[in-house]
Amino acid sequence: MSGFNSLITVDEALKRLLEAVRNFKLDVEKVCLEESVDRVCGEDLKAPVDIPPFDRSAVDGYAVRYVDVISASPHNPVELKVVGVSEAGYDLKMLPKVSSGEAVEIYTGAPLPSGADSVVMAEFCKRDGDRVWVSRPVACMQNISLRGEDFKAGELVVARGVKLKPWHIGALASLGITNILVYRRPKVLIASTGLELKQLGSEDNQGKIYDSTRPMLKALLKSINCTVLDLGILPDEPAYIAEALSKHLDSADLAVITGGTSLGLRDVTPEALNMLEESKLVFHGVRMRPGKPTGAYVAKGKLIFMLSGFPVASFIAFKVFIEPTIHAMMGSKPDPQPTVRAYITRRLAKPTGVKAYVRVRIYRSQDGFYAEPLRLTGSGILSTLTRGNGILTLDEEVEGVDEGEEVEVLLTQAFE
Amino acid sequence: MSGFNSLITVDEALKRLLEAVRNFKLDVEKVCLEESVDRVCGEDLKAPVDIPPFDRSAVDGYAVRYVDVISASPHNPVELKVVGVSEAGYDLKMLPKVSSGEAVEIYTGAPLPSGADSVVMAEFCKRDGDRVWVSRPVACMQNISLRGEDFKAGELVVARGVKLKPWHIGALASLGITNILVYRRPKVLIASTGLELKQLGSEDNQGKIYDSTRPMLKALLKSINCTVLDLGILPDEPAYIAEALSKHLDSADLAVITGGTSLGLRDVTPEALNMLEESKLVFHGVRMRPGKPTGAYVAKGKLIFMLSGFPVASFIAFKVFIEPTIHAMMGSKPDPQPTVRAYITRRLAKPTGVKAYVRVRIYRSQDGFYAEPLRLTGSGILSTLTRGNGILTLDEEVEGVDEGEEVEVLLTQAFE
């Protein structure tokens, strides 16, 4: 097997991918607010009204004019006449007016009656019939949530490209927004190649192994809200692969092919992609481990990823390349990733010039967190992901890490 | 408004919640492997077979007996007779046997022919007809992935209680597992109370505000795979609330009521829950900010959360109490949370004895990350979540943080 002629760095590969999709933006669709969580916002959403929509009380108590109670004290309480009540949900037009020497009983969230400029908390008031004795002064506007304090009408609340989280739903609901534009789900064509593969659920055949990379990638794609068009396992025939892709590429936004990307005799994926109309190589071969044979083509205006058939290599390539590229097609970014700082339990060496993704098992000890590199490091060894719970990235220029050195690890799973 | 009589700490509240659901385990259901991602595994899944299922080549090259090529060098290559080929996917029974002085052409993933004990990479071999010249020695078992190296038959692959991630799907697919048991989706009854609330989409009424807490909580519950039974906005009538809950509690696994949990005159939720059959208070009132009026009851064997009607307080209570409690009902844990270490931009003071959750905006600067506490700190101020992108937790014993101090912040959103 000869080497790749033009290995590029991870950063250069990502740059080329983002450049390739720069002019490819997904279109938007209208969805019900409550269904929009985890989708990417497709418009700049501005507040149509002030929130709160009116000055309202932040406490239960009495709405007063602060000058009336300026001298109030427990020994010299100020007597005011209670002229009504303001409860949350009351119609603003029905509210009593507060004049000098008067107070209105008021509840949390209720609108401030006109004439009043502050609210005295109930615990500093003593009520008897239509009279209330206030035993403490209050500052002007004290205990009042001002109109527009949370959002001002016209203010940008959620920008296009933001991945909608539950609190965005809350904020937009508070503004009365019921439907919003979101980027439609990216449609991703997926196929495996490999003479050695059999479809999950198929009859046993001891010379073949179950295709595990494609089910994993489908789950990864669905986890970022993609719709998956699954072509199954394709035979290792360039013309067949090219035809299958050509037929379905129009109905997808991008494609992912696993397997056949290395340099062996049976690695026909690049040849197949070369046969596609308007086909152009973006890159093939990256200075990373695992994931070296990762590549991409653009054909018919669509990006086509070539991933290793090995599941761990594919997983890394998904996180490093596919996820940010798909987000870029919606002007968005992947969610932040959980990380932990941990001490490495044994020395790790690596060649410089290659970015390495080492699967580790994080565990808690009395004096902190430890990261144990998993010994099985073949790119096909899935158990490093199920036994481990973290991935340590070692940059190109790094020669290794010493035992006991503190490193930052991406957490893939909750741990003890 | 008088104070709560029995405020407890966040840890004590969580302890009581976990104790309350200790004997309440959700049942399991069988789902298709590809549909199981993000669900919680409901059984201990063991490998039914070895993976790899046979010794196979990790490279393209020639399968040989290592003793035959022990003296091989570029100047003195060893000549072997090629007696066949082993390709990935070939039937094991059809494989040629390697005897002394023989080699089999072999591809990555293909089964090792019997008689061979190592594979020489293709780049160290020169082929001519049925002859191959090997120019480098190889160690016994070199370039071979051993049977059972990834998973051994009978080995635990995914334990009950593990939240299934895409790589678990990959690992289980590699083992040929097509259906698995997962905990069924928790069914959560949800209702709001509050005279001031109107339903999203309802006619305008200037004295009322849109209910934003319930849509947010529904989105949060769905994000952890719950099924939501939404009772809408209930009137502030204890008997009415009790009847509505009583009627639907049997079809749910737990319930969440927002609003009416404080100590004002209109705060009737505790009274309503007290009216339920076999009702028992778990706690009411927590030393936290926001979220002080958080509480819980158990009635008819079901846990009922009482949350503040204020959206931010509800969000915090969801993350701190509801999410871990629901996971505990499946013997599971929430996913790890992304955090970032950042320098605080201004001094923060807080009373001791209270756990505070401060909304901050994280931004990147030349010399690191900074966390700017957001000035609007009312528990109803949703904009602190949409403008911010992180939450800083300050423990009970902490009096505050100084400007420039480094803190660890939970990230809620990707940032620039």
Average pLDDT over residues B80-85: 96
C-beta atoms surrounding A240 within 10 Å: 14
Average pLDDT over residues B66-82: 96
Question: What pLDDT, on a 0 to 100 scale, did the predictor assign at position B88?
Answer: 75
| Residue A416 maps to a domain | no
Measured torsion, CA atoms of residues B334, A345, B166, B222, in degrees rounded to the nearest 10: 10
Q: Side chain identity at B226, as an amino acid letter?
A: C
CB of A165 closer than 8 Å to CB of A171: no
Provide the CATH number for the domain around residue B399.
2.40.340.10
Shortest Cα distance, chain B CAs vs residue A127, angstroms: 13
| pLDDT confidence band for B206 (50 / 70 / 90) | low
Same domain, yes or no: A310 and A201: yes
What ipTM does this complex have? 0.89
| Residue A299 maps to a domain | yes
| Residue A32 maps to a domain | no
Same domain, yes or no: B218 and B73: no
Same domain, yes or no: A205 and A293: yes
Pairwise CA distance, residues A163 & A230, whole Å = 26
Domain final position from B328, B351, B369: B328
Q: Which of A54, A174, A262 sits opposite B210 (nearest CB)?
A: A174
Question: What pLDDT, on a 0 to 100 scale, did the predictor assign at position B60?
Answer: 84
Which two tokens mark B253? 């696994």
A9's CB contacts (< 8 A; 6+ apart) are A286, A287, A355, A396
Provide the CATH number for the domain around residue B37.
3.90.105.10
| The pLDDT of residue B2 is above 50 | no
Ranges under pLDDT 70 in chain A: 1-3, 204-206, 263-265, 376-380, 416
| Residue A252 maps to a domain | yes
B405 at A interface, C-beta within 8 A: no
Task: Mark out the alpha helices in B251-351 (DSSP H runs).
Answer: 269-274, 311-317, 323-328
Pairwise CA distance, residues B395 & B375, whole Å = 20
Tell me whether residues A311 and B1 touch, CB distance under 8 A. Answer: no
| The pLDDT of residue B353 is above 60 | yes
Question: What pLDDT, on a 0 to 100 scale, did the predictor assign at position A64?
Answer: 97
Pairwise CA distance, residues A307 & A294, whole Å = 5
DSSP string, B349-384: E--TTSEEEEEEEEEEETTEEEEEE-S---TT-THH
Question: What pLDDT, on a 0 to 100 scale, did the predictor assign at position A310?
Answer: 86
Shortest Cα distance, chain A CAs vs residue B17, angstroms: 20
Residue with the bigger pLDDT between B414 and B185: it is B185
Q: Which of A266, A382, A415 sits opposite B174 (nearest CB)?
A: A382
The whole-chain average pLDDT of chain B stands at: 91
Shortest Cα distance, chain A CAs vs residue B111, angstroms: 7
Closest-CA residue of chain B to A260: B108
Tell me whether residues A414 and B1 touch, CB distance under 8 A. Answer: no
The residue range of the domain holding B355 is 339-411
Average pLDDT over residues B7-26: 95
pLDDT tens digits for range B40-62: 999 999 999 998 888 988 888 99
B37 at A interface, C-beta within 8 A: yes
| The pLDDT of residue B1 is above 50 | no
pLDDT tens digits for range B120-174: 998 899 999 999 999 999 999 999 989 998 899 999 999 999 999 999 999 999 9
Q: Which of A94, A216, A262 sits opposite B166 (nearest CB)?
A: A216
Same domain, yes or no: A313 and A400: no
Q: What is the tally of structural domains in chain A? A: 4
Same domain, yes or no: A369 and A239: no
pLDDT tens digits for range B214-244: 999 999 999 999 999 999 999 989 999 999 9
Provide the CATH number for the domain around residue A63.
2.170.190.11
Same domain, yes or no: A63 and A137: yes
| Percent of chain B whose predicted confidence (pLDDT) is above 90 | 73
A203 at B interface, C-beta within 8 A: no
DSSP string, B99-141: -TTEEEEE-TTPBPPTT--EEEEGGGEEEETTEEEE-S---TT
